[in-house]
Amino acid sequence: MDTLSRIDGLNKRFGIAGVAQVAAGNGGLPMVRVNTKAATAEVSLHGAQVTRWTPAGSEEVLFLSERSYWDAGRAIRGGIPVCFPWFGDKADDANAPKHGLVRTKEWRLDSINALDDGSVTLVCITESDAATRPWWPHEFCVAYRITVGARLRLELTVINSGKAPMRFEEALHSYLRVGRVQDVTVRGLDGIAYLDKTDNFREKMQSGEIGFTRQTDRIYLNARDAVDVVDTQLGRIVRTEKVNSENTVVWNPGIEQTAKIADLADDDWQRMVCVEGSNVQTAAIELNPGAEHTLRVTLSAVSA
């Protein structure tokens, strides 16, 4: 079956007239387009990646690079990539795919449902297979529930479907669109220790709000509370709320690092900030056979 026929079959099975449809997105990759009174959004089945979300009365919340690749086996730059079962580089294999195995896989669409409050929930699933086992020997199933509405709720459930315990890292790598990063502050992390990846992972203490003048790459430890991205140029606050997340990652590549990233324009660093609900490093999750763990991240946007 060719790609277009397969996409048409998915739309006939799961599409909801006037609310949600499965269509060919950039590069012909299958995507789900949601359009309701509460919000519009796009979710690529490649990586189960939310690439756009615009709540009613607001501007686009997510950053998506115009230079992003849209090819099977390559990551989409922007939106909300799913990082699993490791974050960043794999500790024991420098040749392993960065940020894990699932952001470059096509996930299986399991359901789309319209809810009474005007929001839409879709569920995507991926599992261990012959492509994942050479990199990571564990058996797993990951179910991702995405609820598109006035708020964007993301629930990533990992199930250990094997016979041995497994330890994994996870992150929902949210790229938030901003007017000008120099006019942005991040609040909610004052007084929290963090690992500074730009300084050999030295542990430091956050004092006050976070501002951006150069590359910023930090893993905040024991950071469970809501975090606000305050954008004076766009006149809005984007809030990240989390459940079952011990870390908050804050990243902006800055001008020098951006120049090394082929799928970012030279000035894209000024238009995005990543705030990521995660469990990484010493907060990695241990799951016994048959057990499951759910990470929940909810995004909302309000006028500043």
Per domain, the residue ranges of the chain are 3-303
CA separation (Å) from 216 to 47, 68, 114, 168, 199? 25, 21, 39, 24, 10
Q: Whole-model pTM?
A: 0.97
Fold of the domain spanning 3-303: Beta-galactosidase; Chain A, domain 5 (2.70.98)
Which residues are tagged catalytic? 173, 276
Q: Tell me which residue of 58, 79, 64, 81 sits closest to 237, measured CA to CA.
A: 58
pLDDT digits (tens, 9 = 90+) for 147-178: 999 999 999 999 999 999 999 999 999 999 99
Give the N- to C-terminal CA distance of the chain in Å, as an integer: 49
**Residue whose C-alpha is closest to residue 63's, from 287, 201, 268:** 268
Structure tokens at 19: 């609310």
**What tokens does 273 get?**
């900030």
Half-sphere exposure of 164 (CA within 13 A, CB side): 7
Taking only the tens of pLDDT, the chain with its 304 residues reads 588 899 999 999 999 999 999 999 999 999 999 999 999 999 999 999 999 999 999 999 999 999 999 999 999 999 999 999 999 999 999 999 999 999 999 999 999 999 999 999 999 999 999 999 999 999 999 999 999 999 999 999 999 999 999 999 999 999 999 999 999 999 999 999 999 999 999 999 999 999 999 999 999 999 999 999 999 999 999 999 999 999 999 999 999 999 999 999 999 999 999 999 999 999 999 999 999 999 999 999 999 8
